Structure 1
Amino acid sequence: MPERAAKQGGRTEYSPRREDHRSGGVAPPASNGAILHLLNALSDAARRGHEQLFQTVEELVPQHLNVHDVLLVVREASDWTLWNDSTPNRAGILDSLAGGDFSDDEHEIMFPDGMMLLIIRPGELGLAVSPLNGYPLPSEELAIIARYLEAAISGLSAVPMEALRQNIISAFHRVATTVLHSEDLPEIFFNITEVAKSELAADISGIMLVQDEHLVMQRCVGNESADTARLEMAVGQGIGGRVLETGKPCFVENYVESSHISQHFFSLARVEKVRSALAAPMKSKDQIIGVLEVWRRRPSTFSDEDVTTLETLADLASIAIANASLIAKQKQTMRKLESANDSLRQRYQVIESSVDFQNQLMKCVLNNLGLDEIARAAGEALESGVFVFDTKTGMRSQYGANRLTSREIGALKVEYAKAPTDDAEPIELSFESTGSSVITQRISAVSGQSGWVGILNPSGNREWNLLSLASFSITVALHDMKSQAGAAALSEKTSALLWDLIDAPENVRRLAIDRLRELGIDMSRESCVVLCRIHQRGVASGPDSLSDRDLDIHRWLVRDVSARKHGAHEAPKLASMRGTEIAVVMPWSDPGAAAQLAEDIENQVAAIMPGVECSTGISARCHDPFKLVECLRQARLASRVAEMSSSKRPVAFEETGLIGIMMGLQEGTSFGDLPKNTLKELADDSKPQARTLRETLHYFLSLNCHQGNTAEALGVHPKTVAYRLEKIELATGLDLKSHEHRLLLELALKAHDLRIETL
């Protein structure tokens, strides 16, 4: 016989105990539903006698509790035998039990081969269980079945047994059905205490749970004092404390006279008139979690059957508590999973909507739509106002019924100024004065920072707004990059054509116009030429005044100039550089647009190369692109004047007057076009009215601009002279009150009359 180990809590283990090296790991624990189903089946079988009960145990326990085999064995003399001689000795169970000498206080006996013997009736009846290959035995569930069998068997004599105690079985069945399906601890405690009080003929029943190494009353029925319902016990105090200390059931027949328990609660016992009490431990995984206790107000003795009954109820309470905790955790887990699922579903919907939004904006870029169309698409999709700022917080585009006010734009400028240049984090801002709110983000492009985008009064959740804002920002950046790339590509193509247009023979200029038309560049509108001549400070301008590196930088500058807008004005049509001259042909909208472009070019040159100076001239406007060659001549003359001027500002050709003509004479400029460019339709000899107006202008200038003397010399009324002079001003665009303009008209008349082509 193997050597015995020390006893622990009524359970004996033989040693040495082998380590479990079998494959398979831990068997899945039996569910509470399986235990309940098994107890129901055993209850039904017990009503038909012990033979049916034993047969049901051996048949159903292996099916429900993950064990290999179960046999009921009886003690005859010193040997264990099968209760039914016709039952085969399955799994060699009797061989393992042969020669076993077990004491009466042993409840569970483990064998080296993994088999377990549960004592149902000491010295009479046992339940032998062999393990399922690879899994440990479910000892807690088997202990419940053993105690249930003990309660179901009446009498303490050897088998066969007397009639079953149907009332206790029925009570167990009712309470098991209730508590194993409940997660409500108060309901569980109520049912357990009521059954314990009823089945053990007690006057008071209570359940106490371990809290901070103390037993604390959770539910009490039948008590007269409120102190009983608030009862707390430390280890070793009273019956409950003794159970907590030993881990075994405990009872006293005379409470206040017992020497086996402490006297901490004798006064309360006298108040409650308690005479006898019984308590059993509630265990979970070999740990005591509480105590189930009953009290009687009469002297009495608790039988072994009473102890078993209370232990069974305590076991059911332990399982119910664990089950309630498990159900609560399962529900909590389900709630968390549902919440996580809802969150993921919402996030998926946000991401899906964001992808649709991004695709919609990308179609605008792919279809070459402008920034206003992109802003419109974004605003309609977001159902909010949107806006796009440039780097200087100038409004590039805005869409929506609600627009930013000047005060709101000012507040945004302040926030933008605070933001680091490398920070792309969104800014959220509310305006108390208007009740509006804005979420805005910097536009980051490969070429650098290119402004801000924003949503005014955003709707929807914050995550959707942030994703949408990022998509809007990316789309605007792509649009800008595409525009810059397209402009740069077009600039490369048109750079060479520009000089063919403005500084080449007639046939080459015509070919250049045709080629520009094929590239989609309309030259039919009025245009002017802006010419910037660059040179080292203090050095006269010339073809060799700049290094190759400087020229490369300025060629890059040309591409930038050709693609950008200047305030609210249109982008220049053509820009190019040859030698030290930057030439730009731009639409004529007003003189301020050309002057602004000229200043921008000079400022960029000064910023890039501090040692370089610019002299910029602006031509007069031209209706015919074929005659832009004359505009180039005018812009060059104006740039020469600007170079000599101390003001160092761009100069328009109209400002040069006689100085420009004199400088043109120094360079041998042809006078052939002077009458036509100055007198315009008055230079047409085929029109009699033109000759009349020239004659009137000649007398007016030669007679010291006196209208009366002019009328007398012409033999007409003074009002007629006044009318003719007004028509001359309208035709030439010059002011006869201006001395400079009068000199220019007189020189043009002389050149026309004398037919001077060159000087």
Structure 2
Amino acid sequence: MVAPGVPASLRSWMSAVSEIARAVNAAESLDAVLARVAELACDLIGFEFCAVMLADATGEHLHVEGWRGLTPDYIALLGDGGSLLVHPSGPPLDTPAARAFREGRTVAVPDVRVATDYGRLPDLASAQGYRGLVAVPLPAAEDDGGPAAATGVLVGYSVTARDFAPAEIELVELLAGQAALALETSRLRAGQQEVIGELSRTNDELRRGRAELEWAEQRHRELMQLVLDEVGLAGLVAALARTLGASVTVEDADGRLLARAPDEGYRPPPDAAARRRAPARQALEDLARRYEVVRIPVVAPAGPVLPGAPNDARREKAWVAPVVLGHELVGRLWVTAPPAVPAPVQLRVIERFALVVALELLKARHLVAVEGRLSGDLVADLLRQEGPLHPQSLLDRAAALGHDLAVPRTVAVLAVDGQLPAGVRVAEVARAAAGPDATPLVGAHEDGYVLLVPDEPEPVDVLRRVRAQVAQLAGPSCPVTLVAGPTARTPEEYAPAYRVARGAARLRRAARPGGFVDARQLGLSALLLETGAPDALRRFASSGLRPLVLHDERRGGDLVSTLRVWLRTGCSTSATAAELVVHPNTVGYRLGRIEQLTGRSLRGIDARLELQLALTVRDIVRLDES
């Protein structure tokens, strides 16, 4: 409070300064503070109108930021966008406010009607209704020991012509100084608030970063515990799916499914057609070289889009991480349909899971390799020419590998003529194709693979699936032959059964590689396959059946098929006629013709036996896969 005896003008001045300070300290907006300055200028000095103008960042324009009594139309007349040019092209565009700011001094115009230095001033004065004015620059804080350029200008207007006394000008200049001080204080406060805001944002970012690191560390600990608990690939995939709230798929390098999660609401990765489209194709081709999670742009299948759906409603959200072993891409880890775009910390978690998946695949490879060696050694010991040395030991070793050799098993031989593509492992393919209910014991032996398949379920169906899968992976340039041989019930029966299947396989491959041959019920013919050479067997069959084959080819006859059925039905003419749906006399005629062409009587047991063996060899060589 001002002490008694202080002049009224001084009391008013001190009250004005205090009011400006309170406005600044109260953190009022800059516009409000400057309007308060303009109001006080009118009250203290007797102006009818007042304006506080500030320079823009370029220093080329003055903008009215606070005023008292000025009309909106007048403010609009001050220039484009409510601004005055600081450096006009000439006097016609110059104004007292611009000169005061430009020259850093007070400019007084007692009567605008006689002011010839300002071309625009008469029109502006007429629009607002004033005759005199004074413009005072707002001093800026000193910089490096010297005065800095002004930050703006305070302009007071009088409706009458007015000679401004030195005391009045000094008072306006003091008020301008207070306005400049308020302006600087307000700017400093704004800067402080900005710094405080930036610090607050930085703290928020640090807190979020710390939370993300803690989340990632927790996921890492959980991942390590999963590895220690040996949950396997399925457990890892299920855990990642729960963590991300998304669908997770692991596939090998050829796209075969290895594991997926969750069971309910699972969303598969893009199909083969979607992956072939460019940019998805390019991203997948670069995957092995990037060693990081990438987003795969995939267009969802055609279908209705809900009203109001975003423009990318047909785009699936899919991310994929490479599973790499020794710089070799061995698989892919897909994350599909997450609730939101994964944050960077989540992408790092996916990459860690991909690394552990690679270790799981490496472990599986190692186990497969070990199992393959053990299975191969077991098969080799089981198929010794002289028979197994320790039958019970073989049964125990097979049981340790999960196979019960006490159960009757079909002995099959699979052979591939040509080089299999890299990565095709016959034993793995055979086990996968056979299924869990008929898993064969598979071992590489001699020039092929031996498969010991349980007799239940039907082994032929199982073996056909195995051959079809291997043939698909091998390709047309590598014929795949699979022979189902006799059934073995004891360890001592495996070697003879194998020799029969091997003989049939060699016979087939020597004449016509590829296909499936069922050689389980050959009877006496099995002896030839077990001991005979393929070329000798072919010559035997060819010489014995040549007349009949030539007759059928030239005349379209059915002598060979009639002979086969007749021998199979126990040499019964009536049964043969019933099966071939012909008259018994026709069968008798054909049998007589066979005797004429071969020069052998079918009543002789030796002739029947030779023809039966020849037909067996011919069937193995010519048997179609179907």
Q: What is the TM-score normalised by the length of structure 1?
A: 0.55
Does 1:664 pair with 2:530?
yes
> For 1:160-200, what per-residue CA distance to the aligned partner results, in whole angstroms no more than 9, with x for missing partners?
xxx99222122112112213543512201211101111111
Judging changes above 3 Å, is the alpha-carbon distance between structure 1 residues 660 and 418 closer, same or farther for their aligned structure 2 residues?
A: farther
> For 1:527-548, what per-residue CA distance to the aligned partner results, in whole angstroms no more than 9, with x for missing partners?
444435678x9xxxxxxxxxxx
Corresponding letter in the other structure for 2:67: C
Distance 2:32 2:426 in 1: 82
Distance 2:464 2:274 in 1: 30
Mapping of 1:688-707 within 5 angstroms? 704=572
**TM-aligned CA deviation for residue 292 of structure 1:** 0.5
Mapping of 1:81-480 within 5 angstroms? 165-182=10-27, 184-211=29-56, 213-223=60-70, 226-227=73-74, 230-232=77-79, 233-234=84-85, 235=87, 237-257=94-114, 262=118, 264-269=120-125, 274-285=130-141, 286-298=148-160, 300-332=162-194, 334-335=196-197, 338=200, 342=204, 345-346=207-208, 349=211, 352-353=214-215, 356-357=218-219, 360=222, 363-391=225-253, 393-398=255-260, 399-403=262-266, 409=271, 411-412=273-274, 414=276, 420-423=284-287, 425-429=294-298, 430-433=300-303, 437-441=316-320, 443-446=322-325, 448-463=328-343, 466=347, 470=351, 473-480=354-361
The structure with the largest alpha-carbon Rg is 1
Match of 1:3 in 2: none
RMSD: 4.7
Corresponding letter in the other structure for 2:318: I
Contact 2:109-2:133 at 8 Å conserved across structures? yes
Distance 2:114 2:405 in 1: 122
Question: 3-state SS of the aligned residue for 1:251?
Answer: strand
> For 1:100-152, what per-residue CA distance to the aligned partner results, in whole angstroms no more than 9, with x for missing partners?
xxxxxxxxxxxxxxxxxxxxxxxxxxxxxxxxxxxxxxxxxxxxxxxxxxxx9
Question: 3-state SS of the aligned residue for 2:389?
Answer: helix
Does 1:566 pair with 2:566?
no
> For 1:388-426, what per-residue CA distance to the aligned partner results, in whole angstroms no more than 9, with x for missing partners?
4455545444433235699x7465465576764343633
Contact 1:365-1:478 at 8 Å conserved across structures? no
Decide which of 358, 377, 401 is 1:496's aligned counterpart: 377
- Give the percent of matched residue pairs that are identical in Structure 1 and Structure 2: 19
Question: 3-state SS of the aligned residue for 2:303?
Answer: coil
Question: 3-state SS of the aligned residue for 2:287?
Answer: coil
Judging changes above 3 Å, is the alpha-carbon distance between structure 1 residues 198 and 344 closer, same or farther for their aligned structure 2 residues?
A: same
Distance 2:304 2:356 in 1: 29
Residues paired across the two proteins, number = 504
**TM-aligned CA deviation for residue 499 of structure 1:** 1.2
Distance 1:222 1:558 in 2: 91
**TM-aligned CA deviation for residue 481 of structure 1:** 2.1
Judging changes above 3 Å, is the alpha-carbon distance between structure 1 residues 461 and 559 closer, same or farther for their aligned structure 2 residues?
A: closer
Judging changes above 3 Å, is the alpha-carbon distance between structure 1 residues 302 and 475 closer, same or farther for their aligned structure 2 residues?
A: same
Distance 2:223 2:65 in 1: 65
Distance 1:743 1:404 in 2: 63
**TM-aligned CA deviation for residue 284 of structure 1:** 2.5
Distance 1:268 1:605 in 2: 94
Contact 1:280-1:314 at 8 Å conserved across structures? yes
Corresponding letter in the other structure for 1:479: E
Match of 1:646 in 2: 512
Judging changes above 3 Å, is the alpha-carbon distance between structure 1 residues 182 and 246 closer, same or farther for their aligned structure 2 residues?
A: same
Decide which of 485, 503, 508 is 1:637's aligned counterpart: 503
Contact 1:206-1:293 at 8 Å conserved across structures? yes
Higher RCO by CA contacts (8 Å cutoff, separation 6 or greater): 2
Question: 3-state SS of the aligned residue for 1:507?
Answer: coil
Distance 1:225 1:343 in 2: 44
Unpaired segments ≥5 residues, structure 1 = 1-43, 50-151, 155-162, 538-549, 668-699, 708-741, 748-759
**TM-aligned CA deviation for residue 205 of structure 1:** 1.4
Decide which of 584, 587, 593 is 2:462's aligned counterpart: 593
Q: What is the TM-score normalised by the length of structure 2?
A: 0.65
Unpaired segments ≥5 residues, structure 2 = 142-147, 289-293, 306-313, 534-567, 576-607, 614-626
Corresponding letter in the other structure for 2:37: I
Distance 1:525 1:476 in 2: 37
Judging changes above 3 Å, is the alpha-carbon distance between structure 1 residues 592 and 413 closer, same or farther for their aligned structure 2 residues?
A: farther
Match of 1:482 in 2: 363
> For 1:692-736, what per-residue CA distance to the aligned partner results, in whole angstroms no more than 9, with x for missing partners?
xxxxxxxx98895999xxxxxxxxxxxxxxxxxxxxxxxxxxxxx
> For 1:61-112, what per-residue CA distance to the aligned partner results, in whole angstroms no more than 9, with x for missing partners?
xxxxxxxxxxxxxxxxxxxxxxxxxxxxxxxxxxxxxxxxxxxxxxxxxxxx
Judging changes above 3 Å, is the alpha-carbon distance between structure 1 residues 598 and 215 closer, same or farther for their aligned structure 2 residues?
A: closer
Match of 1:510 in 2: 392
> For 1:263-320, what per-residue CA distance to the aligned partner results, in whole angstroms no more than 9, with x for missing partners?
5413544565545433211133511221112123345554444333322322232233
**TM-aligned CA deviation for residue 479 of structure 1:** 2.5
Question: 3-state SS of the aligned residue for 2:14?
Answer: helix
Contact 1:558-1:582 at 8 Å conserved across structures? no
> For 1:567-615, what per-residue CA distance to the aligned partner results, in whole angstroms no more than 9, with x for missing partners?
46259665444554544445565323334445666777789xx7x9876
Question: 3-state SS of the aligned residue for 1:458?
Answer: coil
Corresponding letter in the other structure for 2:97: G
Distance 1:296 1:322 in 2: 28
Distance 2:181 2:233 in 1: 70
Distance 1:640 1:577 in 2: 16
Contact 1:276-1:296 at 8 Å conserved across structures? yes
Contact 2:387-2:495 at 8 Å conserved across structures? no
Corresponding letter in the other structure for 1:241: A
**TM-aligned CA deviation for residue 359 of structure 1:** 5.0
